[in-house]
């Protein structure tokens, strides 16, 4: 079998795709790079917003046409597969294999089946399964828990992924050890709410560390960089900030979704904290990590949001001064309380407010990134950038960074970079040696003229 996997959604989905891909390889499948080469196409889906669902419909429509022309097995996995909405889509587009987020290990049974296979049960063994480490990569994801015990009124995750289940620390450390042996230098701990780790269903699990202590344990493994996502403000204790400061490997990057700056909207969202409590968490982070790089998620146009509520969000953005943000217009999702009980706002109003928030985000990101010009950053380079002759990567603070290639360095690795220029969403610099001197660059001459063109100029 030749299999091709398509992934939409969050980093958890990326991890799950790797898990299923490794299962397919163990069963003898060959992973190919395109749909045209494949006789099995598996789509890992997201159901958090309407847009990724529309993308899945579009891809499935194309695959159904291909299936009418040649033998092709179509599979769908992930959050959308767990919902009735997704199952209706699967019937319409003649999906052969359907796997919910808790049934990924059923992929073997699905391949052995001679008829349509739908696996939608949550399997306990998934939490103990350790996929092989990624090969040839310096970055890796590491799931520490699945599901969520919070019930935000806009969120479908508790329905699609079930209640929170923390992985045993021994399993986490064993998987980490395998990743390090494979050459991984940066690991991102994943979960719907990572800082609630070890407290499932409101009860502390015997023999499980707190998330803060788990950070300390992972930091003792020898890994060079540690990041984590996503956090819920309700569970972001001061001890987490202290553990970050005490553990050199933990990057000074904090993604702490606020969703709204209005207490009234936060109550309608059932976020379980106030604006003031959120700002108290930010103060604790900055007390322990003065140079913390802060990112957030914000939903614009939640049902009932007034202009005054939106102004509260804008003022909160200014009060915190985020480095970056994921911003979305509210998308009503079937199966959520907000879809059932609240009336949606006009799309035009949501788009207008989102446009204003994006403008504020660009202004703050430009100021924050500009402050790094002249500094020396540790950058994890991943490989070739969008422009020939350049490499791309990111700093410990998660800033996307582009540098010219230098003689002797053409691929992945962690290097010192002096930042020379910055835009709201990108930083540009030069690789330097231990003495702070620029390393000799690989010549980049255009065929028609001896002129250097930087990615910044091209943008």
Annotated binding site for [4Fe-4S] cluster: 10, 46, 79, 148, 152, 155
Q: In whole angstroms, give the CA distance from residue 378 to residue 419.
A: 10
Kindly give, in sequence order, each residue whose CB lies less than 8 Å from that of residue 341, ignoring residues fewer than 6 positions away.
Answer: 153
Annotated binding site: 10, 46, 79, 148, 152, 155
Q: In whole angstroms, give the CA distance from residue 442 to residue 391.
A: 11
| Strand order, beta sheet including 139-143 | 139-143, 186-190, 225-229
**Rg of the Cα atoms in the chain:** 23
Helix axes 238-246, 211-219, angle to 10 degrees: 10
Answer for the pair 266, 259: CB distance below 8 angstroms, yes or no. Answer: yes
Answer for the pair 216, 243: CB distance below 8 angstroms, yes or no. Answer: yes
327 forms beta bridges with 298
Residue 275: strand, helix, or coil: helix
Residue 379: CB atoms within 10 A of its CB come to 26
Q: In whole angstroms, give the CA distance from residue 235 to residue 212.
A: 11
Q: In whole angstroms, give the CA distance from residue 110 to residue 27.
A: 12
Q: Computed from CA positions of residues 318, 320, 324, 330, in that sequence, does the dihedral angle turn out positive or negative?
A: negative
């Amino acid at each position: 079998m030749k299999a091709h996997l398509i992934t939409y959604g969050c980093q958890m989905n990326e991890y799950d795709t790797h898990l299923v891909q490794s299962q397919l390889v163990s069963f003898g499948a060959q992973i190919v790079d395109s749909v045209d080469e494949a006789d099995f196409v598996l789509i890992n889906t997201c159901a958090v917003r309407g847009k990724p669902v529309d993308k899945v419909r579009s891809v499935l429509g194309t695959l159904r046409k291909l299936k009418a022309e040649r033998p092709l097995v179509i599979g769908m996995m992930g959050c959308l597969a767990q919902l009735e909405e997704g199952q209706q889509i699967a019937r319409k587009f003649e999906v052969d294999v359907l796997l919910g987020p808790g049934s990924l290990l059923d992929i073997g049974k699905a391949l052995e089946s001679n008829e349509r296979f739908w696996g939608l049960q949550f399997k306990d063994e998934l939490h103990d399964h350790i996929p092989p480490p990624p090969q040839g990569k310096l970055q890796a994801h590491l799931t520490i828990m699945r599901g969520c015990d919070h019930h935000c009124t806009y969120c479908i995750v508790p329905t699609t992924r079930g209640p929170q289940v923390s992985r045993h620390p021994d399993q986490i450390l064993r998987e980490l050890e395998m990743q390090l042996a494979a050459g991984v230098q940066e690991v991102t701990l994943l979960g719907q709410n990572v800082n609630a780790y070890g407290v499932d269903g409101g009860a502390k699990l015997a023999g499980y560390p707190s998330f803060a202590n788990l950070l300390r344990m992972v930091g003792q493994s020898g890994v060079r960089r540690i990041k984590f996502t996503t956090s819920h403000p309700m569970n972001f204790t001061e001890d987490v900030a202290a553990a970050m400061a005490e553990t050199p490997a933990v990057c000074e990057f904090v993604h702490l979704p606020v969703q709204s700056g209005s207490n009234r909207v936060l109550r309608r969202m059932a976020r379980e904290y106030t604006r003031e409590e959120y700002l108290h968490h930010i103060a604790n982070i900055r007390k322990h990590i003065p140079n913390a790089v802060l990112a957030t998620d914000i939903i614009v146009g939640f049902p009932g949001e007034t202009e005054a509520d939106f102004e509260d969000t804008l003022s909160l953005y200014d009060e915190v001064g985020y480095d970056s943000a994921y911003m979305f217009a509210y998308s009503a999702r079937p199966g959520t309380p907000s879809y059932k009980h609240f009336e949606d706002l006009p799309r035009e109003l949501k788009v207008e407010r989102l446009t204003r928030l994006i403008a504020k985000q660009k202004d703050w990101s430009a100021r924050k990134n500009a402050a790094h010009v002249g500094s020396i950053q540790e950058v994890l380079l991943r490989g070739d950038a969008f422009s020939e002759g350049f490499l791309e990567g990111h700093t410990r603070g998660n800033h996307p960074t582009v540098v010219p290639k230098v003689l002797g360095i053409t691929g992945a690795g962690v290097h010192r970079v002096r930042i020379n220029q910055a835009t709201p969403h990108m930083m540009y610099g030069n690789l330097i040696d231990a003495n702070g001197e620029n390393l000799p660059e690989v010549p980049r001459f255009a065929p028609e003229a001896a002129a250097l063109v930087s990615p910044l100029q091209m943008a």
